[in-house]
Amino acid sequence: MAKRNAFYAQSGGVTAVINASAAGVIETARANRARIGRVLAGRNGIIGALTEDLIDTSRESARAIAALKHTPAGAFGSCRYKLKDLDTDRAQYERLIEVFRAHDIGYFFYNGGNDSADTCLKVSQIAQKLGYPLIAVHVPKTVDNDLAVTDNCPGFGSVAKYVATSMREAAFDVASMAKTSTKVFVLEVMGRHAGWITAAVGMAEDAATPIPLVLLFPEIAFDEAKFLDAVDARTKRFGYCCIGVSEGLQNAEGELMAEAGTKDAFGHAQLGGVGPRIAQLVKERLKYKYHWAVADYLQRAARHLASKTDLEQSYAVGKVAVELALKGHNAVMPAILRTSDKPYRWKIVIAPLTAVANKEKMLPRNFITPDGLGITAKARAYLGPLIRGEAPPPYRDGLPRYVRLRNVAVPKRLSTTFDV
């Protein structure tokens, strides 16, 4: 088979370990120089392909590529840009093939979540329709942990470790202060549609470290009375209470709690998310002093606290994506299969993109306790291995030393431009 170039792009919200997948792709491609020429990366994701703004990763040293394994976020830039179906956005898909043809791209590696799995599938389809030889492989990534087929998603384990650790630490703080000061602490976490990250907050607590916790999942309609009762009971019994709340918490009418309710004097929706809102509710109804935190990007960028399991899997899906491509597997995604809980064992299997694209894996109801406010042993058995192991970055002068790539542009070969 002729030697051809590869295209790699990062898509959607980034994670603490998505660059490890990039390293897996690039290092494995470099190990197969006989068959893969250069790996060209899309600057700011698929937009880089559409606008022929490609990055020549061969200009980066082996050391720089290796440093991606300990560097958070998207080293080539990511984007929120969804290609629609083939009929609506046909020109965009054709443009992709035009750019790929100009740069002799034979391999398309797309590193993202649900939407990008769908895009990856469609790119493979349009290539076939147009008779352009292309192998398209999706590299899974999402902190939301909602991709189908795969047991878990690269990026999730590190967020899970971060929110569990942070809640444990904050709980120690609140417990210290509760006698005369803060009694209720609220941590708002990501995961608008599925409660995987909220569930991970529950791992803060275990047999050796009991913590009075209440979790508010996006899957469980907010029941104010029940919630307040639970917080009050725990605060009375233990002196304090910690609350983990999903940014996607909804009321019984299916409205987002972060948006529902009061507006300010100018008719704007109130500032702040659901975390401060829940804290305020506790204050008004139960009169407990509160503090709240919104971790926001801190949780998904926290490479300093990445899960070693997550890091290894993130690298592995990048590596195997290239190996699958070289074996001729098209329109597939390397998926993680859990083969054993205790000891935790996993391997990579091949998932057809038709089984992944546009599916959403929800948190099973039996991961949530019957009262809707906690996690079950099943959830713990699932989550436990995913947060296990530490993989700290190198530090210099007290701070993590993260790499910034040179990101040298590939000279354009097309005279045409494309507006995105």
Of 13, 16, 3, 21, nearest in space to 116 by CA: 13
144, 146, 151, 310: the active-site residue: 144
Cis check: omega of the bond before 218, within 30 degrees of 0: no
Please state the closest distance from residue 242 (CB atom) to a copy of itself, in A.
Answer: 10
Nearest CB to a copy of itself, comparing residues 4 and 382: 382
Q: Residue 338: which H helix or E strand, with range?
A: strand 332-340
Nearest CB to a copy of itself, comparing residues 47 and 97: 47
Please state the closest distance from residue 376 (CB atom) to a copy of itself, in A.
Answer: 17
What are the tokens at 218?
Answer: 């996006």
Q: Is 85 a catalytic residue?
A: no
What contacts 24+ positions apart, CB below 8 Å, involve 228-237? 228/281, 228/282, 228/285, 228/286, 230/371, 230/373, 231/184, 231/282, 231/286, 231/288, 232/286, 235/183, 235/184, 235/286, 235/288, 237/212
Nearest CB to a copy of itself, comparing residues 227 and 292: 292
18-30 and 308-326 helices, crossing angle to 10°: 40
Nearest CB to a copy of itself, comparing residues 45 and 334: 45
Nearest CB to a copy of itself, comparing residues 28 and 78: 78
Please state the closest distance from residue 204 (CB atom) to a copy of itself, in A.
Answer: 7
Of 37, 7, 35, nearest in space to 22 by CA: 7
308-326 and 156-177 helices, crossing angle to 10°: 170
Please state the closest distance from residue 4 (CB atom) to a copy of itself, in A.
Answer: 27
Of 273, 284, 223, nearest in space to 253 by CA: 223
Q: Which residues of 253-281 are buried (b: 16+ CB within 10 A; e: fewer)?
A: eeeebbebeeeeeeeeeeeebbbbbbbbb
Please state the closest distance from residue 383 (CB atom) to a copy of itself, in A.
Answer: 9
Catalytic residues: 144
